Amino acid sequence: MLRLALSALLALIATAAPARAAPAPPAHAAPAAWAASDMALPVHRVGAHSYYVEGRLEEASRANEGFIANAGFVITDGGVVVFDALGSPALADRLIAAIRARTDRPIRRVVISHYHADHFYGIPAFRRIGAEIWADARARAYLNSPAAAERLAERERIIGRWLGPHFSLPLPDRWIDGDQDFVMGGVHFALRRLGPAHSPEDLAMQVEPDGVLYSGDVVYAGRVPFIGDADTRLWLRAIDRLLAIPSRVMVPGHGPASFAPRRDARMTREYLDFLREQMGRAVRNFVPFDDAYRQVDWKRFQAEPTFDVANRRNAYNVYLQMEQEMLGE
CA atoms within 13 A on the CB side of 135: 26
CA quadruple 71, 241, 195, 226: dihedral sign? negative
The stretch among 6-14, 102-110, 214-222, 229-237 that binds Zn ion (CB under 5 A) is: 214-222
Nearer to Zn ion, 191 or 203 (CB): 203
Q: How many residues bind Zn ion (CB under 5 A)?
A: 2
Question: Burial letters for 311-321: b for 16+ Cβ neighbours within 10 Å, e otherwise?
Answer: beebbbbbbeb
Among 84, 136, 210, 217, binds Zn ion (CB under 5 A): 217
The stretch among 75-83, 147-155, 187-195, 213-221 that binds Zn ion (CB under 5 A) is: 213-221
Min CB(2)–Zn ion separation in Å: 37
Confirm or reject binding of residue 136 to Zn ion (CB under 5 A): no
Long-range contacts of the stretch 289-295 (C-beta < 8 A, 24+):
289/315, 289/316, 289/319, 292/319
Nearer to Zn ion, 184 or 219 (CB): 219
Nearer to Zn ion, 163 or 184 (CB): 163
Residue 274 is classified by DSSP as H
Please, which of residues 266-295 interact with Zn ion by CB under 5 A?
none
- Whether the upstream peptide bond of residue 196 has omega within 30° of 0, thus cis, is yes
Confirm or reject binding of residue 116 to Zn ion (CB under 5 A): yes
- Residue 3 makes CB contacts below 8 A (sequence gap 6+) with none
Nearer to Zn ion, 47 or 67 (CB): 67
Give Cα 26 distance to the centre of its chain: 26
Nearer to Zn ion, 109 or 119 (CB): 119
Min CB(218)–Zn ion separation in Å: 9
Contacts with Zn ion, residue ranges (CB under 5 A)? 116, 217
